[in-house]
Amino acid sequence: MRLDLLLIQRYPGLSRRKARDVIEKGQVSVGSERVREAGREVPETAAVSFDANRKALPKARCTLEVLYQDEHVLVVDKPAGLLTVPSAPGADDDTALARVQDYARRLKPRGGYAERVHRLDRDTSGALAFALSREARAGLIETFRAHRIERRYLAIVLGQPADERGIVDAPVRQEWVSGRRGIAGPGEPSQPARTRWRLRERLPGAALLEVELETGRQHQVRAHLAHVGLPILGDPVYGQPVHGRPLVGRPMLHAAHLAFAHPITGARIAAASPPPQDFERALLALRQGALQQRPKPPLPRRKR
């Protein structure tokens, strides 16, 4: 049950707006933990207490949508186009990390802490986790390194898969060539990579896939799907050349689900991110046959 609704149930004199306000001020605890997210899901039997005399904490709002938060872990919904971390050392780019660190400093003016534990590509949207304490970061890094996480993506791909589901087990090249990771050739230095996919919807000339990572290599989903003849729609690196006006402005890849064990308590954390508007618009256009209306590439000129 949402915390704000459970609080109203326990304290009937509170309005919905007031309940959200006192939660954000830090005047509400669940057990011994002070919780500041009105939408946090808690058991209906949880020990919830409200102390109007407790000193209110300064209000702090994250500029990214918060999918999950406690004192150690934060999961946000990263929009496409935003870097996870600076593109180069010393760069002052607007990044998800910079926004979360600013939020952490507002939450705790003395000693606010936030660090990344994994990343999403600039043009990939969806669930992205950060550590809000040093203890949590150490645990989360080990969790991600050992692949003890659930990561599911939604991907719109060009072409039609022959089967309803499949596995791509192909090592990715360690070296980057012209901005591409790629599948390793015989004898090339590589890292093992394994991706599972499941068909969610067949579309005219395309498909919607649910993709699950068993490993977490950079560009893994994009490289693996292209390798099996299902390039992601809008991918300028691993995809197909576009003739005419592009249907989409970025690769249609979205991190829809992220789950892992809490690094301090061991409890399961699960965060879900709904597809953004551009992803939904692309699906609608494809259902209406947008690919069939695309201009055909020009034929090569004959040599005289």
Active site residues: 121
3-state secondary structure 104-151: HHHHCCCCCCCEECCCCCCCCEEEEEEECCHHHHHHHHHHHHCCCEEE
Sign of CA dihedral 81, 86, 88, 93: positive
- List, in order, residues 6 or more apart from 73 with CB less than 8 Å away: 129, 130, 131, 132, 136, 140, 262, 263, 269
176 burial (CB, 10 Å; 0-12 / 13-18 / 19+) is exposed
- The Cα–Cα gap between 60 and 296 comes to 52
To the nearest 10 degrees (0 to 180), the angle between helices 16-24 and 3-10 is 110
